[in-house]
């Protein structure tokens, strides 16, 4: 039996977009997975649109890092894969990630994503006075790795940059690899996206 992959999806008022993310997990060629959705204090009907078998948890609004931590605490798999609720996987995402992780003998993967809309710049984690291409960033939704990494390295409670900080912290203890190919994670920029909101805020300042 292939190792179980726990897919953790934090969400906040994304009931209109979440089905796309869920469908992309259900379409995976790697079939031994579980889905954990964490509602970060949303006010929509997220709990009502979930398909059977999805494990659902709810918390008071505390940000994406806290939502991921809650979901991770309830995972049962040997691997953990993250997915933002407005993004999606290509059908071979989990299969390729498992294969690369084992072939390269590493503990945590990031990257391998494609921005589906226009190219965007976001605030540089290391220098907030600068903007960098989003495709050069560490995107938390693209993280895939051994469960022990996520269970021992928590996400911080910052509302921006928690992805990069997690990556930095994990690199201190585990073997990591940033992927440029294959691009099996499809990153959508939608209204209300944290990445897009931060870019807009930066441009206004």
pTM: 0.89
- Asked whether residue 39 is assigned to any structural domain, the reply reads yes
Q: Using 50, 70 and 90 to split pLDDT, how confident is the model at 131?
A: confident
Hey, what long-range contacts does 53-56 have (CB within 8 A, 24 or more apart)?
54/22
Is 98 a residue whose pLDDT tops 90?
Answer: yes
Residue range 102-126: mean pLDDT, rounded: 86
- Asked whether residue 173 is assigned to any structural domain, the reply reads yes
Which burial class, exposed, middle or buried, applies to 109 when counting CB atoms under 10 A from its CB (0-12, 13-18, 19+)? buried
Q: Using 50, 70 and 90 to split pLDDT, how confident is the model at 159?
A: low
- Asked whether residue 36 is assigned to any structural domain, the reply reads yes
* Tens digit of each residue's pLDDT (9 = 90 or more) over 32-88: 999 999 999 999 999 999 999 999 999 999 999 999 999 999 999 999 999 999 999
- Asked whether residue 124 is assigned to any structural domain, the reply reads no
Residue range 139-161: mean pLDDT, rounded: 90
Q: Looking at the 3D structure of the chain, how many domains does it have?
A: 1
Is 196 a residue whose pLDDT tops 50?
Answer: no
From CA 76, how far away is CA 37, in angstroms rounded?
Answer: 14
- Asked whether residue 59 is assigned to any structural domain, the reply reads yes
- Enclosing domain of residue 66: 5-117+138-190
- Asked whether residue 132 is assigned to any structural domain, the reply reads no
CATH number for the domain spanning 153: value is 3.90.550.10
Is 20 a residue whose pLDDT tops 70?
Answer: yes
Among candidates 149, 142, 144, 120, which has minimal Cα distance to 132? 120
- Asked whether residue 101 is assigned to any structural domain, the reply reads yes
**For residue 127, what pLDDT is reported?**
72
Q: State whether the Cα torsion 180-182-183-184 is positive or negative.
A: negative
Mean pLDDT of the chain: 89
| Torsions phi, psi for 63 (to 5 deg) | 100, 165
From CA 81, how far away is CA 62, in angstroms rounded?
Answer: 21
- Asked whether residue 122 is assigned to any structural domain, the reply reads no
- DSSP H helices, the chain, are 18-26, 64-73, 93-104, 147-152, 162-171, 194-204
CB proximity list for 33: less than 8 A, separation 6 or greater: 4, 5, 6, 7, 25, 77, 81, 94
């Amino acid at each position: 039996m292939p190792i179980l992959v726990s897919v953790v999806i934090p969400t906040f008022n994304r009931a209109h977009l979440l089905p796309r993310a869920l469908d992309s997990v259900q379409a995976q060629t790697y079939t031994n997975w579980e889905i954990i959705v964490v509602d970060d204090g949303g006010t929509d009907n997220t709990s009502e649109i979930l398909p059977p078998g999805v494990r659902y948890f709810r918390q008071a609004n505390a940000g994406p890092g806290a939502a991921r931590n809650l979901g991770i605490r309830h995972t049962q798999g040997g691997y953990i894969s993250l997915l933002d609720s407005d993004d999606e996987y290509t059908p071979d995402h989990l299969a390729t990630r498992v294969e690369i992780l084992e072939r390269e003998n590493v503990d945590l993967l990031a990257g391998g994503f494609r921005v589906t809309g226009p190219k965007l710049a976001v605030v540089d984690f290391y220098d907030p006075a600068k903007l960098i291409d989003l495709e050069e960033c560490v995107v938390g939704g693209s993280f895939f790795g051994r469960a022990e990494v996520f269970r021992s390295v928590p996400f911080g409670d910052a509302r921006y940059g928690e992805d990069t900080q997690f990556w930095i912290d994990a690199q201190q203890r585990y073997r990591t690899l940033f992927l440029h190919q294959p691009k099996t994670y499809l990153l959508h920029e939608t209204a209300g996206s944290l990445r897009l909101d931060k870019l807009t805020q930066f441009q206004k300042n």
